[in-house]
Chains A and B, each alone.
Chain A
């Protein structure tokens, strides 16, 4: 549904996107992940026909965003990271306005607006003025607005930032429901955990370049970080370090008071061999525990902390 190839965007002398490629298949939920300033919003704005690409091509549903922006706008629902609400009208009027702006005329429009309000659980807020809504309600309202013209493709820029855990879960449920309705969804975030359990594919962007993209399992496997083993020792750290230097599968280690974290290469990690080598060197090993790599580690490992 979305095809991005060789996309370059320059702001004056700043090269915000340096030729990125990815594809989002039909009915996929594509997680678009990257640290602050990586170029997520820029990419999304190009896809949504709001920004002109310097180079490269972007197609949505087979339509080119540069040459056929009207067609693209009809099939895309864009939710910006700032919600973009009018404070001086009611929830119903807000949705009614956007429905009308998408050319939906009256007898039908009332039904459409009621439907999206039901879907996003806004029914009870129908006549509330927008200025009185909480952040979570605003997010739902903006989401409802995105759905008003029933677009097959949804492009959501950090939709879940600033929501409490409960609202996040509800939002996740909504996304799953939308997917079951046959929609293709691109959702950006800088928090991997937020996306990991329901995305079907992910793309990871950093400093304007795509680091990895593909099916979620594939990417997770490819980016599998070092296996970390925590070894508790009762002294003789110097000998321990000396012993580990000879082992090819040890990537690096961090020594602490009373224990050390050893990073092993994921492909050939051999914990028994490590323990054996330490014991042979006379290090008093009192315990071995495997420490799972958190998604945070993964994120840091991928992005190398280059961007902030």
Chain B
């Protein structure tokens, strides 16, 4: 009787979708098996990986051992969440379409918002079960010490936020798709983004302080941050709030809001255009403008702190922007995206040069252009850094006045990076628009990694000669931001060094002018151009190959 009373009292507050998902999903033997398997794999991974680190470093201090276990546990758990959750959430709305239940849902009294929220809560419930099940494993580190309860709490809070972002974006993808398989592959692409974007940001040299602070808060310093922590005092004051709380919260809120509103919009039988999400999208410009203004201010006042803040804000916005762009693109399974023949573009008076660059329709073109604006957004910090008085303000400004063609060099680097991104993005659009979604996602991933991994590792191999650390930056080789950034700034620094010594080669080159290619020494910029050209031609070749094949098929 009592349980019935409680049930009745709570009924009003429980989302029906959540209730149904819990009844359907959590009861089956399959869920139990997945959970058991997850724990086995997680436990084994922690045991093996932590054991290996401890052995290699010959750790004897219990605090260090505890810290290592915690760090490995946290990494393994976040990684597995990034795969388990999309697998659950990405099918949530698609499977309703596949089972022909989505129409039935839409004509109940449930609002579109309630449907999306129900799915989101179900996914969070799923995540929480996994996180809770893993908790005893995580507390093993307490046996050794070196990790505080607040470290563990901060780690779990981070994991919950990660779970929320992954769930919501997967549900968003799910709302746009008609097939589970496609939703799944696209959500995985996002998950990888959630992994690489923060790591990329943290691995930019100038954010070493931020990275150190994050590692300290999460209790990961024992493994990743030894040297970094020694060199870094961490963050304090306003910057701490901005970098640790405000900017991540904003990034999180923007992703959640965008995904939520777009999913809700999509569920509406009509008036389902993307107006709300587009408005959010443009709202992201406003703080970006503020950040640019801030960097101008910094230029006037020669303040490093202002530069740092501006840079950080710009990068966060670049990330949001890129997320939104990619999400709208990857997740639109809309037949209209089957691009109009290129001929149409000529007729509509598109400039020939632009349409020749790749995209076969206005929409594709707009997308490519946006991607490049986003790239510009991400490149701004580099420009910012190059112009910032990081090392030697008077000499730097003197070099400007003396008319060394530094701006020209930098401009050409930017233009090249832009053209490179433009052409590859445009070609991707053209390629993808003619093949089905699963292949689209897979192909995009392949192309992106083929294009950026060599470029990035090339950039990193140089920039990390200096630091010589085993920071999370090692993982950053995925990030084009880091790559382009280190190429640009490295070259810049070396030129600065030149100008300081009055035209003589700098005594200690920060960045080599030349690199070895097949035994001969090639100027770095020449290598960059050659690489871009080769990658571009490969794209074009792939494009024609695929176009012919898909037209025939």
Chain A interface residues toward B at CB < 8 A = 45, 48-52, 66, 69-70, 73-74, 76, 78, 80, 82-89, 93, 97-98, 100-103, 105-107, 109, 145, 149
A-B contact pairs, 17 of them (CB 8 A): A50-B107, A52-B270, A80-B103, A80-B104, A83-B100, A84-B99, A84-B100, A86-B101, A89-B24, A93-B23, A97-B16, A98-B108, A100-B16, A101-B108, A105-B8, A106-B8, A107-B8
- State whether A86 and B11 are in contact (beta carbons under 8 Å apart), knowing that A51-B269, A98-B108 are contacts in the complex: no
CA distance A97 to B110 in the complex (A): 11
* Interface residue? B342 (CB, 8 A): no
CA distance A97 to B12 in the complex (A): 13
- CB <8 Å contact, B107 and A48: yes
Please give, as numbers and ranges, the residues of chain A lying within 8 Å of B109 by CB-CB distance.
70, 73-74, 101-103, 149
- CB <8 Å contact, A85 and B110: no
Please give, as numbers and ranges, the residues of chain A lying within 8 Å of B28 by CB-CB distance.
88
Q: In the assembled complex, how far is the CB of residue B538 from the closest CB belonging to chain A, in whole angstroms? A: 36
* Interface residue? B105 (CB, 8 A): yes
* Interface residue? B436 (CB, 8 A): no
Please give 12 more A-B residue pairs, beta carbons under 8 A apart, in addition to A80-B103, A84-B99, A97-B19. Answer: A70-B109, A74-B109, A78-B103, A78-B107, A85-B99, A85-B101, A89-B20, A97-B20, A101-B17, A105-B11, A105-B12, A149-B109
CA distance A112 to B108 in the complex (A): 16
CA distance A236 to B28 in the complex (A): 77
Please give, as numbers and ranges, the residues of chain A lying within 8 Å of B103 by CB-CB distance.
45, 48, 50, 78, 80, 84
- CB <8 Å contact, A100 and B19: yes
Please give, as numbers and ranges, the residues of chain A lying within 8 Å of B20 by CB-CB distance.
86, 89, 93, 97
Please give, as numbers and ranges, the residues of chain B lying within 8 Å of A83 by CB-CB distance.
100
- State whether A86 and B269 are in contact (beta carbons under 8 Å apart), knowing that A74-B109, A106-B11 are contacts in the complex: no
Chain B interface residues toward A at CB < 8 A = 7-8, 11-12, 16-17, 19-20, 23-25, 27-28, 99-101, 103-110, 269-270
- Shortest beta-carbon contacts, A-B, top 4: A88-B24, A101-B108, A52-B270, A100-B16
- Please classify the interface of chain A as helix (H, G, I), strand (E, B), loop, or mixed, using the class held by over half of its residues: loop
Q: In the assembled complex, how far is the CB of residue B264 from the closest CB belonging to chain A, in whole angstroms? A: 15
Please give, as numbers and ranges, the residues of chain A lying within 8 Å of B25 by CB-CB distance.
88
Please give, as numbers and ranges, the residues of chain A lying within 8 Å of B27 by CB-CB distance.
88
Please give, as numbers and ranges, the residues of chain B lying within 8 Å of A145 by CB-CB distance.
104
Residue of B whose beta carbon sits closest to that of A97 = B20
CA distance A280 to B384 in the complex (A): 110
Q: In the assembled complex, how far is the CB of residue A228 from the closest CB belonging to chain B, in whole angstroms? A: 42
- CB <8 Å contact, A101 and B269: no
Residue of A whose beta carbon sits closest to that of B30 = A88
Q: In the assembled complex, how far is the CB of residue B30 from the closest CB belonging to chain A, in whole angstroms? A: 10
Q: In the assembled complex, how far is the CB of residue A258 from the closest CB belonging to chain B, in whole angstroms? A: 52
Please give, as numbers and ranges, the residues of chain B lying within 8 Å of A101 by CB-CB distance.
16-17, 105, 108-110
Q: In the assembled complex, how far is the CB of residue B84 from the closest CB belonging to chain A, in whole angstroms? A: 19
Partner of A89, one of B17, B23, B107, B269: B23
Please give, as numbers and ranges, the residues of chain B lying within 8 Å of A80 by CB-CB distance.
100, 103-104
Partner of A69, one of B16, B100, B101, B269: B269
CA distance A101 to B108 in the complex (A): 6
Residue of A whose beta carbon sits closest to that of B25 = A88
Please give, as numbers and ranges, the residues of chain B lying within 8 Å of A51 by CB-CB distance.
269
Q: In the assembled complex, how far is the CB of residue A128 from the closest CB belonging to chain B, in whole angstroms? A: 14
CA distance A82 to B7 in the complex (A): 33
CA distance A215 to B11 in the complex (A): 46
Q: In the assembled complex, how far is the CB of residue B496 from the closest CB belonging to chain A, in whole angstroms? A: 59
Please give, as numbers and ranges, the residues of chain A lying within 8 Å of B7 by CB-CB distance.
106
- CB <8 Å contact, B269 and A49: yes
The residue among B7, B20, B99, B270 with the most chain A CB atoms within 10 A of its own CB is B20
Residue of B whose beta carbon sits closest to that of A73 = B107
The residue among B7, B104, B105, B106 with the most chain A CB atoms within 10 A of its own CB is B104
Partner of B100, one of A48, A82, A89, A103: A82
Please give, as numbers and ranges, the residues of chain A lying within 8 Å of B270 by CB-CB distance.
52, 66
- CB <8 Å contact, A86 and B24: yes
Q: In the assembled complex, how far is the CB of residue B23 from the closest CB belonging to chain A, in whole angstroms? A: 5
Residue of A whose beta carbon sits closest to that of B28 = A88
The residue among B7, B20, B107 with the most chain A CB atoms within 10 A of its own CB is B107
- CB <8 Å contact, A73 and B101: no
Q: In the assembled complex, how far is the CB of residue A68 from the closest CB belonging to chain B, in whole angstroms? A: 13
Please give, as numbers and ranges, the residues of chain A lying within 8 Å of B108 by CB-CB distance.
73, 98, 101-102
Q: In the assembled complex, how far is the CB of residue A7 from the closest CB belonging to chain B, in whole angstroms? A: 15
CA distance A51 to B23 in the complex (A): 31
Please give, as numbers and ranges, the residues of chain A lying within 8 Å of B8 by CB-CB distance.
105-107
CA distance A84 to B101 in the complex (A): 4
- CB <8 Å contact, B23 and A84: no
- State whether A86 and B100 are in contact (beta carbons under 8 Å apart), knowing that A49-B269, A100-B19, A105-B11 are contacts in the complex: no
CA distance A87 to B24 in the complex (A): 8
- CB <8 Å contact, B104 and A98: yes
Q: In the assembled complex, how far is the CB of residue B283 from the closest CB belonging to chain A, in whole angstroms? A: 28
Q: In the assembled complex, how far is the CB of residue B510 from the closest CB belonging to chain A, in whole angstroms? A: 59
Residue of A whose beta carbon sits closest to that of B107 = A73
- CB <8 Å contact, A50 and B99: no
Residue of A whose beta carbon sits closest to that of B12 = A105
Please give, as numbers and ranges, the residues of chain B lying within 8 Å of A73 by CB-CB distance.
107-109
Please give, as numbers and ranges, the residues of chain A lying within 8 Å of B101 by CB-CB distance.
84-86
- CB <8 Å contact, A84 and B104: yes
